[in-house]
């Protein structure tokens, strides 16, 4: 077989397009696509499960710190052991809620675009423009609101032991009672994340620029330090976000 492959190799070099189309056919075969889809789905499920594990331990720990008890105790391991299953159910329901809201927002944006293309230059351009702007604004704001409601539902399940449906409803009710506080918190935390992570990326670029042309062993130290700094900032922002949403979603009405 190796001899046959060696004999065909000059022909492949002479016709690179045939080799390219052969590679495309191999990668687009049903079996290859099925394997790729299975690996992608497994990665997504593993990532979601790890996030639920992290939240099931981090949220009770945050709640313990926010309550400021006289005798604080470690809650991370206890939360992972006893809170993973309820939080997984709430996370599944919150995912379906976010998916439905995103589909609705996409449908609204698509309807506005199709209406604008079909009725461009109509008899009433100003009302149509106002309606389109409102629909587009809603299509952008609805996914953000759904994400805040989902995080609030997770916080209520982890801290108050609410069932999934009740946790989602209570989080939505509190957001509707205080939409400004939730949206301001989401926007402020998003801006802080962009600023801090952008600063960390700039510091990493500057550090690597200084060591440009240096041996790999010398570059390894600044790269590791910049990566650790970026990870620490990401964890800080995540805990800040979780604590803020938990305080807003679990506060007494």
Q: What is the pTM of this model?
A: 0.76
Report residues of the chain scoring pLDDT below 70. 1-23, 25-27, 67-74, 118-128, 207-208, 210-214, 216, 218, 252-253
Angle at 65 between CA 197 and CA 232, to 5 degrees: 20
pLDDT of residue 2: 38
Angle at 154 between CA 149 and CA 157, to 5 degrees: 125
- Length of the chain measured in residues: 253
pLDDT of residue 121: 56
pLDDT of residue 8: 46
Give burial (CB, 10 Å; 0-12/13-18/19+) of 203. Answer: middle
pLDDT of residue 101: 92
pLDDT of residue 192: 83
pLDDT in tens, 160-197: 889 999 999 999 999 988 888 888 888 888 888 888 77
DSSP string, 145-206: HHHHHHHHHHHHHHHH---HHHHHHHHHHHHHHSHHHHHHHHHHHHHHHHHHHHHHHHHHHH
Q: Furthest-apart CA pair in the chain: how many Å?
A: 80
pLDDT of residue 70: 67
pLDDT of residue 119: 62
pLDDT of residue 69: 67
pLDDT of residue 94: 92
pLDDT of residue 96: 93
pLDDT of residue 123: 61
pLDDT of residue 212: 67
pLDDT in tens, 8-41: 445 545 555 655 666 676 667 788 788 888 898 8
Dihedral over Cα of 154, 156, 159, 161: its sign: negative
């Amino acid at each position: 077989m190796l001899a046959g492959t060696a004999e065909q190799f000059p022909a492949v070099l002479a016709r690179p397009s045939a080799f390219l189309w052969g590679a495309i056919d191999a990668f687009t075969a049903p079996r290859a696509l099925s394997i790729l889809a299975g690996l992608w789905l497994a990665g997504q499920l593993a990532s979601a499960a790890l996030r639920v594990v992290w939240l099931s331990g981090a949220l009770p720990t945050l709640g313990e710190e926010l309550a400021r008890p006289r005798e604080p105790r470690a809650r991370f391991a206890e939360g992972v052991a006893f809170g993973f299953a309820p939080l997984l159910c709430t996370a599944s329901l919150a995912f379906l809620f976010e998916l439905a809201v995103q589909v609705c927002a996409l449908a609204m944006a698509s309807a506005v675009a199709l209406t604008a293309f079909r009725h461009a230059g109509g008899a009433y351009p100003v009302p149509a423009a106002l309606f389109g702007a409102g629909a587009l604004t809603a299509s952008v704001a609805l996914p953000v609101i759904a994400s805040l409601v989902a995080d609030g539902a997770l916080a209520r399940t982890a801290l108050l032991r609410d069932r999934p449906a009740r946790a989602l409803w209570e989080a939505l009710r509190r957001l509707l009672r205080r939409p400004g506080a939730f949206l301001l918190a989401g926007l402020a935390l998003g801006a802080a994340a962009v600023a801090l992570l952008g600063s960390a990326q700039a510091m990493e670029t500057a550090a690597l620029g200084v060591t440009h042309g240096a041996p790999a062993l010398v570059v390894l130290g600044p790269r590791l330090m910049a990566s650790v700094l970026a990870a620490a900032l990401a964890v800080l922002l995540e805990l800040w976000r979780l604590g803020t949403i938990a305080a807003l979603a679990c506060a007494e009405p």
